[in-house]
Structure 1
Amino acid sequence: MADGKTVTPTGRFAHGNETYAALVWRRFRRSTMGMIGLVLTVALILMAIFGDFFAPMDPKRAEIAFAPPDHVEFSAPDGSFSLVPFVYPIIETGEFDPVTFQPMTGPDKTNPTALGFFVPGHRYNLLGVIPANIHFFGSVDGRPIHFLGTDKFGRDILSRGIVGSQISLTIALVVVLLTTTIGTLVGIASGYVGGRVDAWVQRFVDLVLAFPQLPLYLALASLIPVTAPSPVFIAFVIGVMAVLGWAQLAREVRSKTLALARIEYVRAAVAVGSSDWRIILRHILPNVSSHLIVAVTIAIPSVVLLESFLGYLGFAVKPPLISWGLMLQDTGTFSVIGSYPWILSPVVFVLITVFAFNALGDGLRDAIDPY
């Protein structure tokens, strides 16, 4: 204590009335990667919530199949410099590839399309309620543009990736919410009660952790009928991931609960006759919450990767829904990747999501750790 200030673990002085959340935020702001992860995470969440607004094209609209990405130009057809960016739309040239026999495409140099922000486009319902047709960016005249090219059906990959974030991130958030809730309850109950209950619970946790998850996922996928509606399929995917994903967190929470149960203030609460629920909610759970926050931020990218990988293997949502895993099914053929490498663009969304949440979790871990 010095002049109404306290020395923080970093050696700096802070006001005595500074809250724990303010102290964590002050530490977190010093982490460059953590702040980058926070900005990217917020951007991803906003992109998922307002996906139709940020998508420049209708994700279900079919154009030229396997059209290459459009290039943004600032040079007009006459060679002069233009302040307004534009693209040359991709059209079929009328010729066929001698190897794949696919129609050959190329830019239409005589018909540029100007780009802009907040431009009119296909109609959608903002937040599922408000009718709108304004998009964050796109072509001024409403003509199709494809910044990441098109897939085998001629659908815009960028728009499908933006809209597909809604399903992929929703699955990840719901799975993490379920696994965190189950893992926390089981871990705290096992560590606090102890004795024979703890032994039996931990043997069950060992059993869940011993399952080879990938073969089990593929086996469970065969139980779903092909004609099953998409909501049922999504619920099944979430249920399978949640059932197999809570055990590791339960083991971690149980170890922390065992350590906290021996601390003096917990023993004092037991001595004065506090109920078990009060001890758990007032003394143990708040001290475990910092670990849970970090575990959640690290678990979300793992679920996103798992959903994308399972989608690549065919265990993905069904059309007309869109997810990153479903989009990656088109990359299952090496000949397609070799001829149309832009079909791998959905991987970029997965990489950004994994980096964002991992960087955020790493920054939070350093900020929350008092040492």
Structure 2
Amino acid sequence: MITPPEMTHKPVMEIADDRHNESYMALVWRRLKRSLTGMIGLVLVVMLLVMSVFAPFFAPVDPKFTDTGFAAPDGIHFTDKDGNFTIRPRIYPLVEGVDLDPVTFQPLMGPDYENPVELGFFVKGFAYPVLGLFTLDRHFFGALDGRPVHFLGTDKFGRDVLSRIFYGSRVSLMIALTVVFFVTLIGTTVGMVSGYLGGAFDTWMQRFVELILAFPQLPLYLALTSLIPVTAPTNVFLAFVIVVLSGLGWAQLSREVRGKTLALARIDYVKAAQAIGAGDRRIVFQHIFPNVMSHVIVAVTLTIPNVVLLESFLGFLGFAVKPPLISWGLMLQDTSNYSVIGSYPWILAPVGFVLITVFAFNAMGDGLRDAIDPY
């Protein structure tokens, strides 16, 4: 009797167990890891969120500290005055020299090679509160002797641009995330309920959605935000901007979710839930909502950069946040003059962070769209 050779493959039950252990989120994560742009976007988004949450730690200078107005960025050097390589980076501060400008007869500024400012990580600086519990004075990068260092220069009031960018990310991203939260909550709920119930409710609701979509958004934004008096408190102004952006932004998502719901409402498991007597609320939020969630997640990641761009534009025009708050759009008000941009180009630094934020969320949204799509 000839014995069959040993099986070299896994038994069917073991293969089934391996597949059973992989949840839906694990499958989405595995697909997302295959997308290079999606992973780059995810890493950048995490870095932006960490930067905004721990802005005081990353800010090298107190954003309210004033120094020389429109000071150029401090260059980082790895060589000493003789050109020899140094392990520790340093900055040579600018001092007035003995030579005069032939046109203005003002003393020319030059690097002070005799008194370099050495840089390092986790240095001491200005104190800042942490969660309202205690204060710290350690910062991620800066001068070892605690002197202010301007890696991206200063604005017209002498305030450090890089530190203000870190603090401004808090307001800009907070506005974007808050607006997207309300847009998602209202748009998803209205879209699912309208698409599932249908009938007269759906007809009148869609006419209202079309009315909102018919408004030219930018002029309406400017008109509504201009209703707030200039003397209003900063929190009131910020809350009104969030309400305006949320109230005009949910309609498009509602229309998209309604289209998904119209198709899902005819699927067999929804008909079966109706046949056994399940309520409309249970069907909408336990059967339809999980199936439209993938589209909502992608829509959220693609809406956040749009809100960041809109807030930056409104802040540039002076219709978003007001001082003493800091946002990327508010910082860009200094760039309204071409002569200022030509003479002090480093004040355009917030534009780079806006572009990075838009790219990060768009790239992550594209990766999630491919990873969540079951087809």
> What is the TM-score with the length of structure 1 in the denominator?
0.93
Residue in 2 that maps onto 1:255: 259
Instruction: Return the alpha-carbon distance in structure 1 between the equivalents of residues 294 and 106 of structure 2.
Output: 55
Map of 2:41 onto structure 1: 37
Structure-2 residue corresponding to 1:10? none
1:78, distance to aligned residue in structure 2 (A): 2.7
Provide the residue aligned with 1:316 in structure 2. 320
What whole-Å deviation, never above 9, does each CA across 1:75-120 have from its counterpart, x for those lacking one?
A: 1013221110011124466978969x99975433332111100000
| Cross-structure match for 1:344 | 348
Superposition CA RMSD, Å:
2.2
Quick one: percent identity of the two aligned structures? 65
The verdict on how the C-alpha distance between 1:4 and 1:17 changes in structure 2, with shifts beyond 3 A counting, is farther
Question: For 1:3, which of 12, 23, 28 is the aligned residue?
Answer: 12
Query: Which of residues 161, 178, 182 is equivalent to 2:182?
Result: 178
**Partner amino acid for 2:153?**
G
Q: Distance in 1 between matches of 2:182 and 2:310?
A: 16
Which structure has the greater CA radius of gyration?
Answer: 2
Which of the numbers 82, 87, 106 marks the counterpart of 2:86? 82
Distance 1:57 1:132, change over 3 A: same
Question: Does the residue aligned with 2:165 lie in a helix, a strand or coil?
Answer: helix
Does the 8 Å contact 2:170/2:327 carry over to 1? Answer: yes
The answer to whether the 8 A contact 2:315-2:329 is kept is: yes
| 2:298 corresponding residue in structure 1 | 294
CA distance in structure 1 between the partners assigned to 2:199 and 2:15 by the alignment: 41
8 Å CA contact 1:118, 1:137 repeated in 2? yes
- Does 2:203 align with 1:194? no
User: Residue 370 of structure 1: CA displacement?
Assistant: 1.1
Contact 2:226 2:319 in 1 (8 A): no
Cα deviation, residue 316, structure 1? 2.4
Q: How far does residue 189 in structure 1 lie from its aligned partner after superposition?
A: 1.0
| Superposition deviation, residue 203 in structure 1 | 0.7
Contact kept, 8 Å, 1:4 with 1:15, in 2: the verdict is no
Q: Aligned-pair distance for 1:130?
A: 2.2
Equivalent residue number for residue 173 of structure 2: 169
Amino acid at match of 2:163: S
The correspondence of residues 5-20 of structure 1 with structure 2, limited to 5 A, is 15-20=19-24
Q: CA contact under 8 A between 1:183 and 1:247: conserved in structure 2?
A: yes
The corresponding residue for 2:280 is 276
Structure 2 partner of 1:143 = 147
Q: Displacement, 1:286?
A: 0.4
For this pair of structures, how many residues does the alignment match? 365
User: Which residues in structure 2 correspond to 1:225-264 (within 5 Å)?
Assistant: 225-264=229-268
Does the aligned pair in 2 maintain the 1:53–1:126 contact within 8 Å? no
Between the aligned partners of 1:110 and 1:314, the Cα distance in structure 2 is 44
* Letter paired with 1:73: H
* Distance in 2 (alpha carbons) for counterparts of 1:26 and 1:294: 17
Is 1:49–1:127's contact at 8 Å kept on the other side of the alignment?
A: no
Task: Report if aligned partners of 1:67, 1:105 keep a CA contact under 8 Å in 2.
Answer: no
Matched, 1:267 2:271: yes
Distance, in Å, in 1 between the alignment partners of 2:11 and 2:254 is 42
The 3 A distance-change label for structure 1 pair 245 and 6 is farther
Question: Structure 1 residues 66 and 276, CA, compared in 2 at 3 Å: closer, same or farther?
Answer: same
One-letter code of the match for 1:309?
Answer: F
Do the aligned partners of residues 109 and 265 (structure 1) sit closer, same or farther apart at CA in structure 2, a change above 3 Å counting?
A: same
Aligned partner of 1:218 in structure 2 is: 222
> Which residue identity does 2:338 align to in structure 1?
F
1-side partners of 2:265 and 2:328: how far apart?
Answer: 43
Deviation at 1:20, TM superposition (A): 0.6
Flag structure 1 segments of 5+ consecutive residues without an equivalent. Answer: 8-12
Tell me, yes or no, if the aligned pair for 1:57 and 1:156 is still in contact at 8 Å.
yes
Bigger drift between 146-155 and 126-135 goes to 126-135
The one-character-per-residue Cα deviations of 1:149-199 (angstroms, maximum 9, x if unpaired) are: 110001110000011111110000000000000001110111011011111
Do 1:89 and 1:144's aligned partners in 2 also have CA atoms closer than 8 Å? no
Give the superposition deviation at 1:281: 1.5
Q: Aligned pair in 2 of structure 1 residues 294, 127: CA closer, same or farther (>3 Å)?
A: same
